[in-house]
Amino acid sequence: MDLHEQQTAAAIAERIRLEREERGWSLSELAERSGVSKAMISKIERCEASPTATVLGRLSGAFGLPLSRLLALAEQASERLMRVDRQAIWKDPETGYTRRAISPATGNGLELLEVTLPAGVRIPYPASAFAFQRQQIWVTGGELEFAEGEVVHHLRQGDCLELGSPQPCVFFNPGKVEARYVIALTRRL
């Protein structure tokens, strides 16, 4: 892990601890609300383990925050211009899934994310990860199989999908090359 990745991991760990403490929750309460073990949350907060995309999705859902907002809060960006070299990049240590926060944190409710999903990788999220946001997915490279509850969407380069009501979802790259896509998020009213 390079220095920037270490700094991002430390910022995420601190943000998770702050979100939990601001709510007055114990580790046990956050574990119960998120479905993530108390031991794992403790390791994440102490920066002894790097959370996977699924774990971060569960934690953000428990906090009632979109994952992108949790990551933006960790970065504490406050400028209207987000230069490419300052965009926070987070990489799932287990799968190689990479998520780049394109938008400034002050995006007035609109967030843009660029995701790279390696071939054969599957990332599940609980419905709670989508409960507070509206989302569109625009595939910019490769292909993506997106399961939204029982409905499976096969997306190719250039396709754009607006998600429906919150359901458990799975992002899957069935191809032989990485999939790249942009996610646009707004807060659900």
Q: Which two tokens stand for residue 182?
A: 């942009």
Residue 77 has pLDDT above 50, yes or no: no
DSSP 155: E
113-149 confidence digits (pLDDT tens): 999 999 999 999 998 888 778 899 999 999 999 999 9
More confident call, 123 vs 83: 123
Whose structure tokens read 């938008």? 103
13-62 confidence digits (pLDDT tens): 888 998 898 899 999 999 999 999 999 999 999 989 888 889 999 999 99
Number of C-beta neighbours around residue 120 at 10 A: 11
Beta bridge partners, 147, equal 152, 170
Nearest to 181 by CA among 107, 96, 118, 128: 118
**Position 71: which residue type?**
L
Residue 107 has pLDDT above 70, yes or no: no
Least confident of 66-70, 146-150, 163-167: 66-70
Q: What is the pTM of this model?
A: 0.64
Q: How far apart are CA 145 and CA 164, in angstroms?
A: 16
**Position 128: which residue type?**
S
Q: How far apart are CA 83 and CA 103, in angstroms?
A: 9
Answer for the pair 89, 98: CB distance below 8 angstroms, yes or no: yes
Q: What pLDDT is stored for residue 56 in this prediction?
A: 92
